[in-house]
Each structure stands twice: as structure tokens, then as C-alpha cells.
Amino acid sequence: EPEVTQTPSHQVTQMGQEVILRCVPISNHLYFYWYRQILGQKVEFLVSFYNNEISEKSEIFDDQFSVERPDGSNFTLKIRSTKLEDSAMYFCASNVGALNEQFFGPGTRLTVL
């Protein structure tokens, strides 16, 4: 069964450093998303991406965040200068259509020291 994959599973970084979180969505999917979940809290929407551009972004997704689909398979989330409060699980998701089921990856745990 096809699935969304994410790497790395755990990323530890120093405050102020740049990190890139990687995702490989399901191959025939057209819509891509990033969500984050701070420990013990609910999952929060960050950004949606379709047709090689951002469709929607939340207030969390400020100028420190960017997304890219550098090739036909990868979808990345970059945080330019990490802050302590960026520590969270980051989930990538994809779906074949905007009103179809979103499939989630296993997440990347980001720890900012």
C-alpha cells in the first residue's frame, strides 16, 4: 500500500540553525501539506501546496518557513533560523484531491536546543 514517508525521523538542532524536513508524498497525489504537533497538543495546519505554489498558510507559517517541491517526488519544509518553540512533531500529508482523504506520514520530531 502506498504511503507518505518522511526523513529524518528525529532531528536535533541548535537554536538559530536551519533545518530541512523532507517528505515523499504518495506518487499520484497532487495536494501536499505540512502540519505540526507540539507535544501533548493538537495537530495544527501550517501550509498547503498545489501546482507548485502555496495554496494556503497559517499564522504559524511566517517568513522563517518555506516549502519546496524540488523534483517530482520530494516535498520539503525549511525553517531558516530555528527557535526553541519550533520543537514539535512535523507531519507531511498528501491527497489526490482537495476533498479526498489526507494521508499522513509518520512525522519528524524536531528538537531545538
When asked if residue 104 is in the footprint of other proteins (CB under 8 A), the reply is yes
In angstroms, what is the minimal distance from the CB of 100 to other proteins?
9
When asked if residue 103 is in the footprint of other proteins (CB under 8 A), the reply is yes
In angstroms, what is the minimal distance from the CB of 2 to other proteins?
14
When asked if residue 98 is in the footprint of other proteins (CB under 8 A), the reply is yes
Long-range Cβ contact pairs of 42-50 (< 8 A, separation 24 or more): 43/91, 46/77, 46/90, 47/77, 49/75, 50/98
In angstroms, what is the minimal distance from the CB of 31 to other proteins?
8
Binding site for other proteins (CB under 8 A): 4, 31, 33, 35, 41-45, 48, 50, 55-56, 58, 91, 93, 98-99, 101-107
